[in-house]
Chains A and B, each alone.
Chain A
Amino acid sequence: MDSPILELHDVSRTYRAPRGSSGSKLHALRGVSLSVMPGESVALVGESGCGKSTLARIAVRIEQPQNGTVLIQGQPVSQLSRIESRQSRELIQLVPQEAGASLDPRMTVGSSIAEPLVIHRRGDSRERATRVADLLQEVGLDDSLSDRYPHQLSGGQRQRVAIARALALEPRLIIADEPVSALDVSVQAQILALLRDVRARRDLALLVIAHDLAFVRSVADRIDVMYLGRIVESGPANDVIAHPRHPYTSALIAAFPDPDPRQRNHRAAPTGEVPSAVDLPPGCSYASRCDRAEPRCATDDPVLVELAQHRRVACHHPID
């Protein structure tokens, strides 16, 4: 069996708490394990502050975890030589949050897409120009945009450029952090369709990070749901959405405003808000908002266990 392209094993990351907060540590990730197999598409879903962007930054090694291991194609990154490390960075590329806005405003679209090729010393300038033209075509942009600057493009076009840039080094895995949240609805669907196409054409693995279950549904095979630095539920995408087992997943689904005026669901709104990651309560971190909570939940923190094949849930009272 292939080894996963990316594997995180019991990864934890804390930050110094913001000034004025009562505790000293902000727990961004608390023992997260996750793997992405070649060609697989995984979505990591959670609300703000759940740690999903920290996880993305650790996966592409912009940040280091304090505990736990990151493995790339089965090799712990801490044991890679300099050259292996450089090669392994090419395998996993990040499309950052608000990628369109993060393009260098003084660089033409063509140079932005070519930049990773320059940094990793791929080809001469003529080969790179051909490569840029191919990439533009692949993401559905006209060749002529190569000489434009980011401000001359629409939001959707900028996001396509960011995806082309991430594809330049022919990675095996693309991590997309909120790839559509800043875009208009009609453009969001275009970008999701592009991600599906690119993945199918290149047999690429995807890790999509999002706050919104409905958006990831059309691109993900599997969903991991995060809450306060933990994965609380994991399973096949359609299964998790149709039959959530963790009360938090269920609440997320109930709170989602479906575009159907005959199914008004605001009465199902869960109470309360996500507690601070600085003052983590003992026990299950969702207990304070959970309608299934029992005394045990306030003291014993549930671990992620396999309830059924491919279905893992961290809850003392999972939904049947």
Chain B
Amino acid sequence: MPRSDVVLSIEGLSISADVRGETVWPVTDVHVSVRAGEVVGLVGESGSGKSLTALSVPRLLPENVRIIDGLITVAGKDMSLLTDSELSRVRGGIVGMVFQDSLASLNPTKTVGQQVAEVVRLHDAVSRTQAEAKAVDVLADVGLPQPRERFRSYPHQLSGGMRQRVAIAMAIACEPQLVIADEPTTALDVTVQAQILALLRRLVDDRGMGVLLITHDLGVVANVADRTTVMYGGRTVEDCTVIDAFEAMRHPYTEALVASAPRLSGLDSAGDGIPGAPPNPAHPEPGCPFEPRCSHAQSDCVVAPPPYITANNGHRFACFHPLLAHEVSRG
């Protein structure tokens, strides 16, 4: 049973897609949960299925993509039971969304203030003046300098960092319980990325919402997430606290990913990467998707995918030959 503070629960999600007449399986048996006041980093490389998993929550999947199986609940509500009009109240209401490309997600013909105010009026029964006042407050809260003046700016008149602040303002304007942020800092310079991550963390701490942060960057996860869910080949392979993900991971893929992550502190430890390439969802193998690249693989790994099991401390992983906690020695 989902606990009362669970704002997002995804259980056993499977997604199929029709690509040029062929059916592919980009997401298979995925499990994700986010509690109030928590940032969960959903990490994976391209093709891991992380973005489709995120888009399936507010039902924003492309037309050729279908949810085949699984239960998605937001604040206890089964999303599959909602009508279209109920879903549009959820989007921007209890679920806020932030995407990578703020220039594409903002309307170029409206001022940023109008756009934030519009979100407020769609979801709250307030007057235009009240909505505009709230928009200014939210723009101030996301750290937009001179929010009253910038209210009348168009997106192209703002820098990339300021546009992403506006996109975050739109996502949080109606006090959502859950924010889904898909690579929100990937297009930004590193100094601006640091500002946006600090902002996200502060908003979570101030407002107590849950955040599902989709990223390919383990450094981003290390710096803002409380918990980490790792995806590979369309499956969730590990779910644990952020400290455990870096220091006591059980899945060999998580270990290899952490070892590949570039770092500036201490000595340069960059390895040679993970040999091989991620699997092709058009040709799924019967066994564990990581088996061809895994240094722990044995003959049983090619037969069937390992089940996603939960250790007694709540640490979840899917591997027949996991690392033992004492195997991980990382300074």
Binding site for B on A (CB under 8 A): 47-48, 154-157, 184-193, 211-215, 217-218, 238, 241, 251-271, 273-274
Q: Which residues of B contact A262 (CB under 8 A)?
A: 243
B79 at interface (Cβ–Cβ under 8 A)?
no
- In Å, the complex CA distance between A288 and B213 comes to 32
B192 at interface (Cβ–Cβ under 8 A)?
yes
Write the chain B residue with the least CB distance to A271: B195
- In Å, the complex CA distance between A299 and B175 comes to 46
Q: Is the CB of B191 within 8 A of A255?
A: yes
Q: Is the CB of A189 within 8 A of B272?
A: yes
The verdict on A260 contacting B263 (CB below 8 Å), with A189-B270, A190-B273, A269-B195 known, is yes
- In Å, the complex CA distance between A256 and B192 comes to 10
Binding site for A on B (CB under 8 A): 45-46, 159-162, 189-195, 197-198, 201, 216-225, 242-243, 245-246, 256-258, 260-265, 268, 270-275, 277-278
Q: Which of B198, B219, B274, B275 contacts A259 (CB 8 A)?
A: B219
- In Å, the complex CA distance between A258 and B303 comes to 37
The A interface is mostly helix, strand or loop, or mixed, namely: helix
Q: Can you spell out 24 A-B residue pairs with CB atoms less than 8 angstroms apart?
A: A154-B277, A155-B46, A156-B277, A185-B257, A186-B273, A187-B274, A188-B262, A189-B271, A190-B274, A217-B270, A218-B262, A218-B270, A252-B191, A253-B264, A256-B194, A258-B263, A259-B219, A261-B222, A261-B223, A261-B225, A263-B222, A264-B224, A273-B161, A274-B189
Q: Is the CB of B222 within 8 A of A258?
A: yes
The verdict on A241 contacting B264 (CB below 8 Å), with A187-B273, A211-B190, A261-B242 known, is yes
- In Å, the complex CA distance between A259 and B221 comes to 8
Write the chain A residue with the least CB distance to B46: A184
Write the chain A residue with the least CB distance to B293: A186
Q: Which of A187, A238, A264 contacts B223 (CB 8 A)?
A: A264
Write the chain A residue with the least CB distance to B274: A186
Q: Which residues of A contact B260 (CB under 8 A)?
A: 185-186, 188-189
- In Å, the complex CA distance between A263 and B160 comes to 27
Among A192, A254, A255: residue with most chain B CB under 10 A: A255
- How many Å from the CB of A264 to the closest CB on chain B? 5
Write the chain B residue with the least CB distance to A182: B46
Q: Which residues of B contact A274 (CB under 8 A)?
A: 189
Write the chain A residue with the least CB distance to B269: A218
- In Å, the complex CA distance between A188 and B197 comes to 23
- How many Å from the CB of B5 to the closest CB on chain A? 22
- How many Å from the CB of A181 to the closest CB on chain B? 10
Q: Is the CB of A252 within 8 A of B190?
A: yes
Q: Is the CB of B273 within 8 A of A257?
A: no
- A-B contacts counted at CB < 8 A amount to 151
Other contacts beyond A186-B260, A190-B272, A241-B264: 20, CB < 8 A: A184-B45, A185-B273, A188-B262, A212-B190, A214-B263, A217-B264, A217-B268, A218-B262, A252-B190, A256-B264, A257-B217, A257-B223, A259-B246, A260-B263, A261-B221, A261-B225, A264-B222, A266-B198, A270-B191, A270-B195
Q: Which residues of B contact A212 (CB under 8 A)?
A: 190, 262
- How many Å from the CB of B119 to the closest CB on chain A? 25
- How many Å from the CB of B78 to the closest CB on chain A? 33
Q: Which residues of B contact A264 (CB under 8 A)?
A: 222-224
- In Å, the complex CA distance between A254 and B223 comes to 12
- In Å, the complex CA distance between A187 and B273 comes to 6
Q: Which residues of B contact A255 (CB under 8 A)?
A: 190-191, 193-194
Q: Is the CB of B273 within 8 A of A269?
A: no
> 3 tightest CB-CB pairs across the interface, nearest first?
A189-B273, A257-B219, A214-B262
Q: Which residues of A contact B224 (CB under 8 A)?
A: 264, 266
Q: Which of B162, B201, B262, B273 contacts A217 (CB 8 A)?
A: B262
Q: Is the CB of A259 within 8 A of B218?
A: yes
Q: Which residues of B contact A241 (CB under 8 A)?
A: 264
Q: Is the CB of B190 within 8 A of A184?
A: no
Q: Is the CB of B193 within 8 A of A273?
A: no
Q: Which residues of A contact B191 (CB under 8 A)?
A: 47, 251-252, 255, 269-270, 273
Q: Which residues of A contact B190 (CB under 8 A)?
A: 47, 211-212, 252, 255-257
Q: Is the CB of A257 within 8 A of B277?
A: no
- How many Å from the CB of B270 to the closest CB on chain A? 4
- In Å, the complex CA distance between A188 and B262 comes to 9
- How many Å from the CB of B137 to the closest CB on chain A? 21
- How many Å from the CB of A209 to the closest CB on chain B? 15
Q: Is the CB of B194 within 8 A of A263?
A: no
Q: Is the CB of A261 within 8 A of B243?
A: yes
Q: Is the CB of A263 within 8 A of B265?
A: yes
The verdict on A213 contacting B264 (CB below 8 Å), with A252-B190, A259-B258 known, is yes
